[in-house]
Structure 1
């Protein structure tokens, strides 16, 4: 692999400076009236979602052996059918690329929330999101509490409780649009076609130790799932392919 260009070397530092300035010092994730950086974070993700910016970001990761190795160590094929690439990581943020390749069948996603807030912008294709709220008049669901093993390699699900939820109207997010979600918002997100979808996701960790997963109370409980991480060369090849595909070059 050739040595990183000067521009590629500077790009991660530029992103780190921009996101650190945007997010500011660590704060309570439940600060009223919400996440003050939400609009700015979504704006940042939108600006970095152009095909040229994605190409530059992928090139910076692929040309730097340390960044590429770190990316591969955190990247894997998600059980829901997409490749999750963790491009850059810092204490206050994580920059990801999610890719549902053309022809890949997206699996059913359970209603869930997260340990983190995030902004997501659609690079190709369309995703649809639905938010759910707990209500005594809603559909009966089994609520599982999900945690991680010590090395964060496995998802572990604990005994469920019962709750009821109602769905808000679904929202489409076609290429060039995005959204922000707090960690405590119950939701589902899925691609609308099998012709391929990609999103740029900026994750902001919070102190939450567990998440919620909702399922049909008569259904089979979620299984313990082990992540299978990608090797360096597979990561590099798929990242370069994704960047070209987002630019409609393949």
Structure 2
């Protein structure tokens, strides 16, 4: 683990000072700690809102965060609010639309553990899967992160059948946690603005899996997220969080 220098902590926003100060001293940002930070977001919306307002009031912070962020191919924004050696805090936003977003419709796992908290909207519908030799649905399996020359590429890794193992609804006030073994999909419950804070730990694996339906293209590039997009989306989330203060 790489500790944050004391000088950096004294100038950091109150929310970051608080959560960084509770990080395990011996070991890294493990799943129990990630869950504790996600619960803090739920329990102290005023402190979290103050951090969002500080970011929006700092042009350099907006510029840096926007550069780390992007539009997911399925139409939602992945914005990195904080990035350090052993943990990240991201804000995922599904803008208000006439129809519910598909969310992340390809079953996938992660190279890192995370915990998330809903801060705007009704919540998210998750479906968790397991590979099976009988029944289920056929997919093409890909490995993400397996190509050193292009870490974002999806490399074909044979066929697989997936069966549904669980289908949890994560609503506002809940915290959802996920380790590297879980394969899932994510979509908003409703069509209105939905946002979740994702507290991400360090990489635990070099690659992860993504499953696509047969015939589905594996060319799913991310989209550019501008500073204007960032301000509008974070501003909308801040407005949604404000009544909870």
Question: TM-score interval w.r.t. the shorter chain?
Answer: 0.7 to 0.9
TM-score by structure 2 length? 0.81
Report the alpha carbon displacement of residue 73 of structure 1 after superposing the two structures with TM: 0.8
Q: Distance in 1 between matches of 2:49 and 2:160?
A: 44
Corresponding residue for residue 120 of structure 1: 116
Q: Distance in 2 between matches of 1:43 and 1:149?
A: 34
Of 66, 71, 77, the match for 1:72? 66
Q: Is the 8 A contact 1:12 1:60 kept in 2?
A: no
Corresponding residue for residue 195 of structure 2: 198
Q: Is the 8 A contact 1:55 1:243 kept in 2?
A: yes
Corresponding residue for residue 241 of structure 2: 246
Once superposed, what is the RMSD of the aligned Cα atoms? Answer: 2.8
Q: Is the 8 A contact 1:132 1:166 kept in 2?
A: yes
Asked if 1:94 corresponds to 2:92, the answer is no
Asked if 1:232 corresponds to 2:227, the answer is yes
Corresponding residue for residue 46 of structure 1: 39
Count of paired positions: 230
Report the alpha carbon displacement of residue 204 of structure 1 after superposing the two structures with TM: 0.9
Structure 2 counterparts to residues 120-139 of structure 1, below 5 A: 120-124=116-120, 125-139=122-136
TM-score by structure 1 length? 0.80
CA 135–150 in structure 1, closer or farther in 2 if over 3 Å, else same = closer
Gaps spanning 5+ residues in structure 2: where? 1-9
Q: What whole-Å deviation, never above 9, does each CA across 1:14-69 have from its counterpart, x for those lacking one?
A: 046236x2374349xxxxxxxxx323321221211343233112122223343222
Gaps spanning 5+ residues in structure 1: where? 1-6, 28-36
Q: Distance in 2 between matches of 1:47 and 1:11?
A: 13
Q: Is the 8 A contact 2:95 2:233 kept in 1?
A: no
CA 233–162 in structure 1, closer or farther in 2 if over 3 Å, else same = closer
